[in-house]
Amino acid sequence: MDLIFWSWPALTLALIVSVLILSLVRRSPFRGGGSAKNGNGTCHTTNENNTVKVLPSPARMPIIGHLYLFQGNPIIELTKLSKKYGDIYKLYLGSVETVVVNSLPLIKEVLMQKGSDFGDRPNFLRYSILFGDNKDNSLAFCDWSSVQKTRRSLARRFCHTGLFADRVETALQTTTDILMAHIRSDIGLGESCPNLKLNLQKACGNIFFDFFCSKVVTEWEEDAEFDRVVKLFDDIFWEINQSHATDVLPFLAPVFKQHLSALANMGTEIRQYVINRIIVPHAAQLDKDNPIDFVDILLTHLEEAEPKNRLTQDQVLYELEDFLGGHCAVSNLLCRAIVEIADSPGMSDKIYVKHFEQGNKEYIQAVIYETLRRTSSPIVPHVASCNSSIGGYPINKGTMIMINNYDLNSSHDLWERPDEFIPERFLLDGGNGRFKKPAHFFPFSYGKRACMGYQLVEKVTEGLILAMVKNFDITPLDNPTQLPIASVALHPNEQLRVKLTPRQ
Ligand code: HEM
């Protein structure tokens, strides 16, 4: 999961409309005040030294606040602001009081030391619309609660233990064979292999459906519903990786009515698929004593959990949907890795030789982490659940906290030649030793809201890149695919312009 914050076209429109409807502005739902306690009833003091520290902040405009500062890529703009205002500064994004945090010690303070003070999520209208008019249905966009704790612990048993590890291997094997057959037949259609992205999406979708639900689709062309649902998931993934005017200027919703209702329809369509094709058949054959997959675990929970800890049917349905949707993060990351490999001369052969001829199993992991570093996928914003502090600055309850990891991931002080794709930087002994990830690189975040899918990401991406490299030499075409800055999501219509040459 990740999020780019703002885009200039949306902002321009927001600016015009917001000035026109100035009179509609109401008090922001993000504003703090009230209790100084979080869900656990404890909070860090707002001012450790009894001195009043005021966060640096640029001049702001009425209604739009600091949105006028975002004229280019939002992450680059935030990084530029950090050079001027320091490692922590305050902005108003429309009505949303926001604190931007850039340095590792301050980021760790938010995510780890004071994780329980900053465990909530912003209240964006789109999150609510996508998840049945209640953002708390979503694992990634809900506020912290006991329900979230239960959801995470149910999933952890499945995702984070070796209990079901062989399921990933089996799912990978089954799907890899189908994927390779599709790519081989597509290569005849032209150098650039026109369906490559869609085929990678379907491969990841299939692996996730197989892993979580024991559902395998073998005839990709003939299953129109599978084709549709994979595309819908990708559209939604793109959507949640973009900013939208209504996120921070919610009174603009009527202006974007059409877009917002299209989102609601996408969510509903996916939900129908999950109910009809997955939940109903599973419920009919459920053996509570021998759950075979995640759907069985969820359905058993519905029947057997203590009532006070039991999720509702809706919560179970959305949890499953959230995990299935995780395949888009993997397919987009995989697409980026393929482009990076194509654009780095000799990289495809190098991975082949290191892995298959020299038996160096860590090189591929370094390739994945280097792809993640250059992706610099933003951390989903956190929100203060109580009055607290960061770096000694008081933070109001309800303040949105944006973590700028792009600054760290592209820093010339922390990385040698950060603009280049160099997997060796993650390997000890000058690039020949074991894999090691430095603490200042945390693509899956830290703390209580950290990513739950990182092991799947590693395993599935690794398996599919290796299958690609084993079967094809991956080299660039003229006019290569332009990868977006600080976003894992490629535009749904983006093609992967790489040349695949079958290995002998
Ligand atoms: C390219 C791949 C991925 C990246 C870079 C990534 C990264 C992240 C990040 C940065 C967060 C936010 C953490 C925070 O707010 O502190 C997150 C949350 C989350 N991720 Fe991932 N993720 C990826 C793929 C996946 C996959 C495949 C799954 C599921 C199978 C998944 C499940 C989740 C969940 C459930 C959360 C929300 C956790 C919570 O809010 O409590 N992610 N991810």
Long-range contacts of range 174-180, CB-CB < 8 Å, 24 or more positions apart?
A: 174/206, 174/210, 174/216, 175/203, 175/206, 175/207, 175/210, 175/216, 176/203, 176/463, 176/464, 176/467, 178/203, 178/206, 178/218, 178/220, 179/203, 179/464, 179/467, 180/467, 180/471
Q: Which of 1, 114, 172 to mutate to test the pocket of ligand 1 (most atoms within 8 A of CB)?
A: 1
Q: Which residue's CA is the closest to the ligand 1 atom numbered 18?
A: 451
Nearest to 209 by CA among 172, 179, 237, 263: 172
Contact 124, 132 (CB under 8 A): no
**DSSP per residue, 257-277:** HHHHHHHHHHHHHHHHHIIII
Q: Which residue's CA is the closest to the ligand 1 atom numbered 40?
A: 140
Contact 206, 233 (CB under 8 A): no
The pLDDT, as a whole number, for residue 331 is 98
For ligand 1, residues with CB inside 6 Å are 1-2, 111, 139-140, 152, 322-323, 326, 329-330, 333, 377, 379-380, 443-445, 449-453, 456-457, 488
- Rounded Cα–Cα distance for residues 464 and 469 (Å): 9
Nearest to 216 by CA among 228, 229, 233, 203: 203
Residues of the chain with pLDDT under 50: 1-41
- Rounded Cα–Cα distance for residues 202 and 331 (Å): 8
Ligand 1 centroid to residue 503 C-alpha, Å: 35
pTM, 2 dp: 0.91
Domain locations along the chain: 8-502
Domain 8-502 top-level CATH class: mainly alpha
Ligand 1 centroid to residue 321 C-alpha, Å: 14
Contact 98, 90 (CB under 8 A): yes
The pLDDT tens digits of the residues spanning 208-259 come to: 999 999 998 988 888 999 999 999 999 999 999 999 999 999 999 999 999 9
> What is the torsional sign of CA 48, 53, 59, 62?
positive
Q: Which residue's CA is the closest to the ligand 1 atom numbered 19?
A: 451
Q: Which residue's CA is the closest to the ligand 1 atom numbered 17?
A: 451
Give the position, in ligand 1's atom list, of the atom nearest the Cα of 144: 41
Ligand 1 centroid to residue 25 C-alpha, Å: 34
Can you give the length of the chain in residues? 504
Q: Which of 157, 334, 451 to mutate to test the pocket of ligand 1 (most atoms within 8 A of CB)?
A: 451
The pLDDT, as a whole number, for residue 43 is 67
The pLDDT, as a whole number, for residue 23 is 34
291-317 core/surface letters (b: 16 or more CB in 10 A; e: else): bebbbbbbbbbeeeeeeeeebeeebbb
Give the position, in ligand 1's atom list, of the atom nearest the Cα of 142: 40
Contact 92, 98 (CB under 8 A): yes
Ligand 1 centroid to residue 443 C-alpha, Å: 9
User: N- to C-terminal Cα distance for the chain?
Assistant: 38
213 assigned binding-site residue: no
Three-class secondary structure of residue 61 per DSSP = strand
Give the position, in ligand 1's atom list, of the atom nearest the Cα of 148: 41
Contact 33, 100 (CB under 8 A): no
Ligand 1 centroid to residue 120 C-alpha, Å: 15
The pLDDT, as a whole number, for residue 163 is 66
The pLDDT tens digits of the residues spanning 341-367 come to: 999 999 999 999 999 999 999 999 999
Backbone angles phi and psi of 212, in degrees to 5: -85, -30
Three-class secondary structure of residue 379 per DSSP = coil
